[in-house]
Amino acid sequence: MTTQVTDHRGGVWSIAVPIPDNPLGHTLVHLLETDRGPVLIDTGWDDPDSWDTLVAGVTACGFAVADLHGVLITHHHPDHHGLSAKVREASGAWIAMHAADAAVVRRTREAEPGRWLDYLLAKLTAAGAPEDHLTPLREARAGGRGRRLPGRRAALPDRGIEPGELLDLPGRRLRAIWTPGHTPGHVCLHLEERHPVLEPAGAEAGAAGPGAGRGAGGGTAGGRGRLFSGDHLLPGITPHIGLYEDPDEREATDPLGDYLDSLERIGRLAPAEVLPAHQHAFTDAEGRVGELIAHHEERLSGLRALLREPRTPWQLAVAMEWNRPWDRIPYGSRNIAVSEAEAHLRRLVKLGHAERVPGSDPATYRAV
């Protein structure tokens, strides 16, 4: 087993924790040294090899798992939150998460077996999914396979992460920023400390203010700290933006609108460097934010053109451009694609650029 650990200086490390059978490859779990002991930002997928890699990585950073003081979760997805229970059991560390994602964890743990499959069947039927896609779900429901769905053993957090709060980490200034979109409770964590590497040449310690100097790629050198961005801001891929799946939700949410608003706030923050949960660290957060906003604007424009011909959400997903042809998209990923199509539809409807065809069943939409 090879453990990839990167020292980002200033008491910050990243550990590449593998995600089994996933093209992303790994989650970058960050370790932050504090005066009370090290704290993890995310933990990785719940898998024996992933656990061994995390333990070896913590050791390579100069600590033992038993030394861990706390765990900060950017969002509830299993490649970020999966190992949290094992970390807490091994160290006694607390686990913190935004309330909106903690509610998702609690709802998933408490759901009756099969309830999620019932909900998924109803959603896909309403979206216009064909019978050959629904049949395996009906068979899974009839066979009682809802008990094995992921997330039913996810750890409940011990404390919340309040938007805007300066977290209780002695010796560090880490502020929570609520960035919904990828999940309802996603948070980025802003280390409000001068970057230990991206300093202006010849600057004296403490001499430069937040606006002083420019770092590589356009980020402010040192003065606006570093951002642990989770999945919100990634250097080369766009995070999935789908519907916030809540069977009890009565009010239609707008995840894409939430995401775009959150991106703009992070762009204004202009951190010197971004430490994401996938791929690699990068500078020029403002430039990357601009690219992502332009991508979604282009995608919305393209979907509006597709809706000149009325389509169901399923038909829209089939017609959209993905990273591979529709017939090569795995079965489960098609559900994710339809969720993303629906999130974009909701945004178009909210903007007044699309509407539901009156009386259509399954729901069919057209451009306005």
Q: What is the pTM of this model?
A: 0.90
Dist CA 77 CA 244 (whole Å)? 12
Q: What is the mean pLDDT of the chain?
A: 89
Phi/psi-derived region of residue 295, left when phi > 0, alpha when psi is between -120 and 50, beta in every other case:
alpha
Average pLDDT value for residue range 89-103? 97
* pLDDT-based confidence at residue 116 (cuts at 50, 70, 90): confident
* pLDDT-based confidence at residue 14 (cuts at 50, 70, 90): very high
The per-residue pLDDT for 112 is: 76
The per-residue pLDDT for 151 is: 58
Average pLDDT value for residue range 242-248? 78
3-class state of residue 184 by DSSP? coil
The per-residue pLDDT for 199 is: 60
Partnered with residue 187 across adjacent β-strands are 178
pLDDT tens digits, 141-158: 887 765 555 556 799 999
Q: What are phi and psi of 17, to 5 degrees?
A: -100, 120
* pLDDT-based confidence at residue 127 (cuts at 50, 70, 90): very high
The per-residue pLDDT for 220 is: 40
The distance of Cα 302 from the centroid of its chain, to the nearest Å, equals: 25
Residues of the chain with pLDDT > 70: what percent? Answer: 89
pLDDT tens digits, 247-268: 666 677 899 999 999 999 999 9
Lowest-pLDDT range, 17-26, 172-181, 291-300, 342-351? 17-26
Dist CA 142 CA 15 (whole Å)? 41
On the question of pLDDT at 206 being above 50, the answer is: no
On the question of pLDDT at 26 being above 90, the answer is: yes
Average pLDDT value for residue range 32-55? 97
- What are the start-end ranges of the E strands in the chain? 5-7, 12-18, 26-32, 39-41, 70-72, 94-97, 159-160, 174-178, 187-191, 226-230, 273-276, 354-356, 365-367
